[in-house]
Structure 1
């Protein structure tokens, strides 16, 4: 098992993060989605640079390689990258009323099942709780659902995103955060 370090993402990381996201979508969605659905996933998933600007996006590394990335948000957007403008809502959430958003979780295919996702979730949950959020919510993929369920998230809604007639299944999940 690899030794992992974590840090907040910086603007200089953006090209490498995009590469990890592409590799993750292409490799880890296979077996859960059809080839057509995997291709469509790129339209609804990807990099949200607002998370990096907000200082809420983490990078997990092993020996100088990005093993994974993911973040949380105090903004209303639940999922999607910079290119998915229709689903973006930059409004700030109220920690007393709203759930923090767990966002853009990706593990590089070379590092799956080594604890990268759990580490990122833990970092996000701790940071959101430190800002007063008592719940977290996410929109998960079929390949991520098992990780989220094992981490205490429960299914709120099974849904999907339509990408030019191709349905990409998604699952909205939430969890109370320990304060």
Structure 2
């Protein structure tokens, strides 16, 4: 299996949305109950600002969509286009961490290096813009990947804006 990684474009959105939904539903089983998974669908998703900013990646395996994810130089920590409280303010790379955002792996491609590839590309791109740290809001399902990549937990929270409270872990990494 050969993975390729490229910047996403708006033309990718119709393929990304069902893959993201499948990842939210299927990969959180065993970590969240059915109500929390439904709530996750309301608070997570694609933020097209990342695509427009040129900071969102698509991973493919032999032409098949395997995953996606990106980073941001903007203040929003997590959430999709539909999420409340988004903040498009630009971060200061000298004093603030870049954000890792909207990481999703197609359920058929888990544990094959998709997430690690996206994280490496994000870290490289953020460092090239002068950022010295990264921050993310991880799900319980995603936390093992992030910890393996050197992120450390700094805060546990629960987001109940979608209904049932969804446990999340804010994580940080120096680069």
Compute the TM-score of the two structures, normalised by the length of structure 1.
0.96
* Counterparts of 2:66 and 2:98, CA distance in 1: 24
Q: Give the match for residue 14 of structure 2.
A: 15
> What is the Cα-based RMSD across aligned positions, in Å?
0.7
- Residue 146 of structure 1 corresponds to 144
Between the aligned partners of 1:142 and 1:33, the Cα distance in structure 2 is 8
Q: Distance in 2 between matches of 1:55 and 1:165?
A: 32
In structure 2, the partner of 1:52 is: 51
Matches within 5 A, 1:29-40: 29-40=28-39
The 4+ residue runs of structure 1 with deviation greater than 2 A are none
Unmatched 5+ stretches in structure 1: none
CA contact (8 A) 2:42 2:162 kept: no
Count of residues in correspondence between the two structures: 175
Structure 2 distance, partners of 1:41, 1:65, is 25
Residue 63 of structure 1 is matched in structure 2 by 62
Aligned mates of 2:100, 2:73 — CA distance in 1: 9
TM-score (normalizing by structure 2):
0.98
Unmatched runs of 5 consecutive residues or more in structure 2: none
